[in-house]
Amino acid sequence: MKIAKTIKFLGITFSSLLLFSFVGQLFFDGSEFSLKDYKIEEGFDLSLVAEAPHFEAPVTMDFDDQGRIWVVEMRGYMPNLEGIGEDMPNGRITILEDLDKDGIVDNSKVFLDGLVLPRALAHVYGGLLYTDGPALYFVKIKNDKPGKRVLVDPIYADGGNVEHQPNGLMMNIDNWIYNANTHFRYRMVDGEWIKEPTSYRGQWGISKDNFGRLYVNNNSTQLQGDHVLPNTVIRNPFFKPRYSVNQRLTPNQKVYPLHATAVNRGYMKGVLDEEGKLTTVTASCGPMVYRGGSFPAGYDQNAFVCVPEANLIKRNLLTIKPTEVSADQAWDGKEFLASTDEGFRPVNLFNGPDGAMYIVDMHRGIIQHKAFISQYLTQMLSDRKLDTLQHQGRILKVTATGNSNKGIPDLSKAKPQDLVKYLNHENGWLRDRAQQLLIRGKGKKVKDELWQLTKTDNQYASAVHALYTLEGLNLLSFEELNALLKVSPNSETSAHILRLMESFASPQYITQMAASSTELLTQNDVLVDLYLASSLKPWIDLSPETFLPKLNEIAARYPDDNVVQEVIVSSLDGKEQNFNEDFDVNAVLGKYLSQAIESREKNDMNSIYVVESRKDDGRTNGLKLFRTICGACHGADGSGIPDLAPPLKNSEYIDGSVQRLASVLLHGISGPLHVNGELYELNNDMPGLVNNPDISDQDIADIIGFLQNAFAKEGKRIRASEIEKLRSDVPEGGVYTEKLLLETKFER
């Protein structure tokens, strides 16, 4: 490993310099900054692209057709340790420009302001797709100014906590826009927005490989993903796949930070080692499959993951098989990039138009939301003064040594013939954007060139890009696809051809599709068989007697492959019982068929087809109720208000019996009472919630869950069923006193 390269930066403000000096991570030598506390793998350079004051609190970014960075600023997130004021409309989307082309941003301008906790954006269809509060919008861009705005989805992020709300907005190779932390995908067709179900996957950040599989993660699993292309195994609404999508790909979640780590559950055994360093991920996010084509051999389609709580970025090696994807850490004992700068908070990673990896560094002290932050971490952040590290942010860039000054092409000026050439480029970002530019531009003029490219066999899936460009231009036909299938350059291209042929399923093509299926089955190719099984669904609906035997042949070939058998059931929508009776079903398939048949009888559909919006998780609901019901008297931070209510921190009512705490919430309490050895003479009784019809047993359990997490030395939980029983234990006089509480025996 080596110390990261020196970074040039222009236009630094005096206030920023003071902050850097305070944090103690950078030094000033007159004209340059050195990231002396960052260590990156040998053969790579780390450079600073942009930072405050051009923007602050960045959480994601995207490049426009010119290669400029558009950054989302979530300025409202946790403005203080109490999280008060996060719903203020102070979020922004800002355009960053490098006017002198030296690789460093020297100009910025706000595109949109007044947003509430924005967390996603994407340049699509010649405009910008972005979030604002719970809604998803699309806005036209005119001379770097917002034009006509369209409401795409009013409940894109309805309910839930900002850490667990939809995000991502990534255009995939199939021309659909996918997200993390949701079960919907989006697409514009003929000027109209389409929203349809997809598999639920991930928490924060989303990426893809060249084939089009999706990769996500959650806070405690550094990499998850799908073994199959999206929407391959959800054709049957009464069957929920268990093995094919949103799977844990990394069995090893270990991390190797450079310094002792301040994390939310650091007080729990095994979270930190003997040196105080984090042992496994607790806030992983922002995964990225590298597709830039500029890193050394062995790095193509590696999966990189942000670990902001430990100030590092991990590297994983993907192993891709026809029905399984797995990932292994590149090294034991070290990371691709790590820092001793506690302000380094990588939250998202992106492939760039220059082949570099771009890092969105939120660069702040607090990264845990108030609904989940523990008293332990609150104290740690305060002691280290990390709660004062705010209003910052950086975009960093990782390049292979020697490629630091690689230029960024301006695709907005590219001709159709040039864009076709970009579909064959080693850089996946350029291929992706060229595909979309051809679809919304003059791609029909180069139809012949696109069809020629569909016969190309390379590692960049150029043939697949060409196919979906033609699909987006409505230039496909069954006859052409069927002919191409016979000369397909590789299995992955065949898989996508089969998927595209589904939309042309009709009685006039049954004979041709049957012949093609028979021919494909002679190849004995696992990947082709998998996607043939998936694509047969609409053909089975047309002619079950023709295509069910072919589906059975595939099922019999792979009796122990869970993914293949799930695809079989997905294609049997409504015909599970007939298939079970007409064919010799293997054990794995028989189990899945029984599950689907039972679900259909109970009318128990896969939730992605029936759940439209999300509910708050328990602690988020508890936080909201606490602030609404309790915060006015106890203070938003629980520190208490003189003559009104005692503090909650270090209170025996919080640390003691959880049933006693529930009884106080239900029936109220009358003073005086002692808290942490101090007497509190209260002017008014604390009212109970027992007679409030709007507060359920689960609501009270959620309030207790938040109180235990935020203020207890050792958090405890209580079930709604226990709350229900305590409702009937009405104290004498209807309200508890301290004496009565001490005399009452609670089970726990």
**Boundary-marking domain end, from 553, 579, 611:** 611
Question: Running DSSP on this structure, what letter comes out for residue 688?
Answer: P
**What is residue 703's three-state secondary structure?**
helix
Instruction: List pLDDT tens digits, range 201-239.
Output: 999 999 999 999 999 999 899 999 999 999 999 999 999
406 domain residue, yes or no = no
Please give the mean pLDDT across all residues of the chain. 88
Domain shared by 293 and 155, yes or no = yes
Q: Which amino acid is at 39?
A: K
- Tell whether 466 and 480 lie within a shared domain: no
Q: Provide the token pair at 685.
A: 């009784």
Q: List pLDDT tens digits, range 554-583.
A: 999 999 999 999 999 999 999 999 999 999
pLDDT confidence tier of residue 377, bands split at 50, 70 and 90: confident
- What is the pLDDT, as a whole number, of residue 683? 61
| pLDDT, tens only, 675-732 | 888 888 766 677 788 877 778 888 888 888 888 877 887 778 888 888 888 888 888 7
For residue range 516-545, list pLDDT tens digits in order: 999 999 999 999 999 999 999 999 999 999
User: Same domain for 548 and 594?
Assistant: yes
Band the pLDDT of 674: cuts 50, 70, 90. confident
Tokens of residue 331, six digits? 């090294």
Q: What digits encode the pLDDT tens for the residues 128-157? A: 999 999 899 999 999 999 999 999 998 898
Residue 20 has pLDDT above 70, yes or no: no
**Residue 446 domain flag:** yes
Whether 415 and 377 share a structural domain: no
pTM attached to this predicted model: 0.84
Q: Domain containing 704 — which CATH number? A: 1.10.760.10
Q: 119 with 72: CB under 8 angstroms?
A: yes
- Residues 368, 505, single domain; the answer is no
Q: Which of 677, 678, 686 is nearest to 645 (CA)?
A: 686
Predicted confidence band of residue 25 (pLDDT cuts 50, 70, 90): very low
Q: Which residues of 390-414 are buried (b: 16+ CB within 10 A; e: fewer)?
A: bbbbbbbbbbbeebbebebbebeeb
| 530: containing domain | 476-611
In a shared domain, residues 637 and 518: no
Both 304 and 194 in one domain: the answer is: yes
Count of Cβ atoms closer than 10 Å to residue 617 Cβ:
18
Cβ-in-10-Å burial (0-12, 13-18, 19+) of 270 comes to exposed
Final residue of a domain: which of 611, 638, 664?
Answer: 611
Element (H, E) at 178: strand 177-180
- Residues 386 and 435 placed together within one structural domain of the fold: no
Tell whether 405 is covered by a domain. no
Does residue 124 form part of some domain?
Answer: yes
> If 0-12 CB within 10 Å is exposed, 13-18 middle and 19+ buried, where does residue 434 land?
buried
The answer, yes or no, to whether the previous bond of 296 is cis (omega within 30 of 0) is no
The token duo for 423 is: 């579909």
Of 569, 585, 611, which marks where a domain is finished? 611
CATH of the domain at 72: 2.120.10.30
Would you say residue 17 has pLDDT above 80? no
What's the mean pLDDT in 42-49? 95
Shared domain check, 144 and 181: yes
Residue 30 scores a pLDDT above 50 = no
Please report where in the chains the tokens 């609906």 appear, as a residue: 541
- Interval 379-435: pLDDT, tens: 777 777 777 778 899 999 999 998 877 889 999 999 999 999 999 999 999 999 999
DSSP state of 629: I
* pLDDT of 18 strictly over 60: no
What per-residue confidence (pLDDT) applies to 411?
96
pLDDT of residue 48: 94
As to burial, measured by CB atoms within 10 angstroms (0-12 exposed, 13-18 middle, 19+ buried), residue 679 is exposed
| % of the chain surpassing 70 pLDDT | 92
> 119 and 80 in one domain?
yes
Looking at the structure, do residues 426 and 361 belong to the same domain, yes or no?
no
Do 354 and 448 share a domain, yes or no? Answer: no
Domain tally, the chain:
4
